[in-house]
Amino acid sequence: MTTDAPRPETLLITLTGRDRPGVTGAIFAHLAEAGVEVVDLEQIVLRRRLVLGVLVTVPADGAAEVALRDAVTRTGTDLGMHVEIVRGSGDNAAKVHRAHVTVIGAPLQASGMAAVTGRIAEAGANIDRIQRLARYPVTAIELAVSGADPDQLRMLLAHEAAEQGIDIAVQATNLLRHGMRLIVMDVDSTLIQGEVIEMLAAHAGCEAEVAEVTERAMRGEIDFEESLRSRVKLLAGVPASALDEVYAAIQLNPGARTMVRTLRRLGYRFAIVSGGFSQITSRLAADLGIHYARANELEIVDGELTGGILGPVVDRAGKAQALREFAAELGISEAATIAIGDGANDLDMLAAAGLGIAYNAKPVVRSQADTAVNVPYLDTIMYLLGITREEIEAADAEAGIVTPAPPV
């Protein structure tokens, strides 16, 4: 019969005060002289105010402990810092049901954080650590939480997200969050602003009619394939050169290039899957360095659109199937994928992914996705992965890419 090892006696040393060089070094010099072991360590600096917490084993004899206490207290006083030393036993208790809760606001009001933290407490969970991921153009805060089932916590916080006008993502803490992933994106109104088919319809003089059908399809009110074929039929006679004009007019959503560029550096793979047209998506993929692309192909005869589509339509089920095929080709599980979309035809794809993100999406999509992002910055997705704005900008600076200075 085995028994648990005895919990070692420990000292928790906490220093708070104005940050300055050498504080941590000075404290550890005394700890080294006392011959103690470091059990845990955490330090934060907030507007040049330092909080340093060190958990160490108790020195071998009482005299050495007194000497250590005196030395640390004296050093802290000399540095103008408050020192607290508490004796106890053991380390932090093992965490169960751990999750990352990412809160994004533009701006993030104190009332929003009060609502989020209140709900976490009501769920019986504990906030173990808080980190700011970004302060502009959105404020993004990550909370490490334990003690509540992530799925239940996600449902509980979804209401607050809608009530407070903020975005909240809850993800279970596991290795997949740090591993190589495949990111599969919708194109129209996700990767790019607007709808390509509506831009083409402008060349046929039927933009308003097409836009109305597109909106109904994205809300899930009508069958996507049926709506697509009826809309494409209206494009008959449009010169193929209109595709070049449309592509030249396309505007990416803010942060799209930053997200792809940054995550490619980390080994991520990207795919775009669209109910739109390969004549556009293949060029987008080449421009952005996206690894896979799948979309519908417009039929062109004698330099004009015929109003038809070649091959099977990439519909709601087709998008999910594309995600599965790309993941299989890369040798990764569907749980290691992220899907991003805004319309009802993205729902199967979002459900198939390990993390489905509704990006400025229709209500039916927001209600069914794992999480929602409702700010107009696509690179906000990286905060859900625990990547900070400072890390993004540092990587860009190393590559010679200059980013605008943040507001003071």
Active-site residue list: 186, 188
User: What is the layout of strands, in order, in the sheet containing 126-134?
Assistant: 126-134, 139-146, 99-105, 167-172
Residue 125 makes CB contacts below 8 A (sequence gap 6+) with 97, 145, 146, 147, 148, 153
What is the Cα–Cα distance from 256 to 267, expressed in whole angstroms? 17
Beta strands in 19-149 (DSSP E): 38-46, 49-57, 82-89, 99-105, 126-134, 139-146
How many CA within 13 A on the CB side of residue 376?
8
How many CA within 13 A on the CB side of residue 168?
28
Instruction: Kindly state the helix (H) or strand (E) to which residue 74 belongs, with its residue range.
Output: helix 62-78
How many CA within 13 A on the CB side of residue 329?
12
* DSSP bridge partners of 355: 338
Give phi and psi for 276, each to the nearest 5: -85, -140
